[in-house]
């Protein structure tokens, strides 16, 4: 099954015999506090207009636990995640479509969480809300309680030690911007740089200007050129397990399975004993 869906396909599915549950996961990485600005309010954006029937999901509260030693967006308690998904109407036998404001990162985090916990049919709206040409509504639906019971482990999850090992035995992609990978700038975390052995692969280069993913064959060629082979395991990290999920999604579109290090650089760099590499080269 394809991991993404077009707006026209979604519009058709919504009128079909088994319409999907639609989740709105609008969110933005915010540096507003440091800049003295108000942070992005995803729920306010949702309330101003969303795809009919869509239910809002808060990334910071429902797709992550509180920031701490495990990173800025560590995994939530599985029971809490399951309860949030059931409140949103998610059931094991019903397709789920997730979207965000167009960047794709937050939607990919929701997609990955549902896939990791065993949901068999979840896709991301390619291009997010800007790709939707149908009507919007402002009323917030009250969906019937779903029956989804999360069972973690359906896709691979990396911890810090596993990420370090994968950087040596396979291919570990760093999905952040190149300047953060090189250690030239670090606007959020304790120190700049990358996990030794990781390969720079900014997830922003997996999409076209309109936010839609590049064709599968182009993505496959890109990842092959970056070192993916038929027999090497692949993993991804980013700053806090959000944009990295987007790269895992791009790899899925390309037909390449990949593990996610959810703690990512925010967890790795919080421990001064862990090694840090800088510059353009993996080592």
Minimal CA–CA distance to 245: which of 156, 161, 130? 156
- CA distances in angstroms from 224 to 227, 228, 267, listed in the order given: 5, 5, 28
Annotation marks residue 161 as catalytic = no
Q: What is the DSSP code string of 4-28?
A: EE-HHHHHHHHTSSSPPEEEE----
Sign of CA dihedral 171, 172, 173, 179: negative
Q: Do 89 and 198 form a contact (C-beta atoms < 8 A)? A: no
Which residue in the list 107, 129, 201, 238 is annotated as catalytic?
Answer: 238
Side by side, the strands of the sheet bearing 55-56 are 4-5, 122-125, 96-99, 21-24, 55-56
Q: Sort residue 242 into left (φ over 0), alpha (ψ -120 to 50) or beta.
A: alpha
For 156, the 3-state DSSP assignment is coil
d(CA 19, CA 4): 16
Catalytic site residues?
Answer: 238
């Amino acid at each position: 099954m394809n991991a993404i869906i077009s707006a026209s396909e979604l519009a058709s599915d919504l009128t079909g015999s088994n319409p999907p549950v639609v989740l709105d996961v609008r969110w933005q990485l915010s540096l507003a506090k440091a800049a003295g600005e108000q942070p992005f309010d995803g729920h306010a954006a949702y309330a101003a207009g969303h795809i009919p029937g869509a239910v809002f999901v808060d990334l910071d509260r429902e797709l992550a636990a509180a920031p701490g030693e495990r990173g800025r967006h560590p995994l939530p308690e599985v029971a809490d995640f399951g309860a949030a998904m059931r409140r949103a109407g998610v059931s094991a036998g019903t397709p789920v479509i997730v979207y965000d404001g167009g960047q794709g990162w937050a939607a990919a985090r929701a997609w990955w969480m549902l896939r990791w916990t065993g949901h068999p049919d979840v896709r991301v709206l390619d291009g997010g809300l800007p790709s939707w040409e149908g009507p919007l509504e402002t009323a917030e639906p009250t969906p019937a309680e779903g029956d989804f019971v999360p069972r973690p482990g359906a896709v691979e999850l990396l911890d810090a030690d596993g990420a370090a090992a994968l950087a040596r035995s396979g291919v570990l992609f760093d999905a952040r911007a190149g300047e953060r990978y090189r250690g030239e700038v670090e606007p959020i975390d304790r120190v700049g740089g990358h996990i030794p052995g990781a390969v720079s692969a900014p997830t922003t280069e997996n999409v076209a200007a309109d936010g839609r993913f590049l064709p599968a064959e182009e993505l496959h060629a890109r990842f092959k050129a970056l070192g993916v082979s038929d027999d090497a395991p692949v993993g991804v990290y980013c700053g806090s397990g959000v944009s990295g999920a987007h790269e895992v999604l791009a790899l899925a579109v390309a037909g390449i399975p990949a593990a996610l290090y959810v703690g990512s650089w925010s967890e790795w760099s919080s421990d001064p004993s862990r090694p840090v590499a800088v510059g353009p080269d993996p080592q």
